[in-house]
């Protein structure tokens, strides 16, 4: 995991290594850091993340909305919730809840 964090740092992404009791994490924090540095890097290698395609697209869409500072608009909130619930996942509640 340390090598991944070092690779991100070399590519201009601010990443930090965090150690938990059972896990080691490479974390990337901050809206600008994720949207402007990490996502373009991952987008270049998108075929390697074929199982996370939907999550990458959703994160990219959210990043655009957040960078436009439109997160407080009601239609945008509705769009965000609709997008989250459109991703295949096991949930106990439907969109109407």
pLDDT (tens place) for every residue of the chain, 97 residues total: 889 899 999 999 999 999 988 888 899 988 788 888 888 888 888 888 777 787 888 788 777 777 776 556 777 777 777 777 776 655 565 656 5
* CA separation for the pair 31, 23 (Å, rounded): 24
The CA–CA distances, whole Å, from 21 to 18, 76, 94 equal: 10, 38, 35
pTM over 0.75: no
Block residue for tokens 């959210």: 62
Residue 96's SS3 state is coil
> 55, 49, 63: which is closest to 84 by C-alpha?
55
């Amino acid at each position: 995991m340390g090598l991944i964090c070092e690779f991100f740092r070399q590519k201009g992404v601010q990443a930090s290594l965090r150690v938990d009791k059972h896990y080691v994490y490479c974390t990337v924090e901050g809206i600008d850091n994720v949207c402007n540095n990490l996502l373009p890097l991952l987008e270049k290698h998108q075929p390697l993340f074929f199982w996370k395609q939907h999550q990458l697209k959703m994160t990219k869409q959210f990043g655009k909305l957040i960078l436009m500072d439109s997160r407080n608009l009601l239609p945008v909130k509705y769009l965000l919730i609709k997008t989250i619930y459109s991703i295949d996942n096991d949930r106990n509640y439907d969109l109407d809840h």
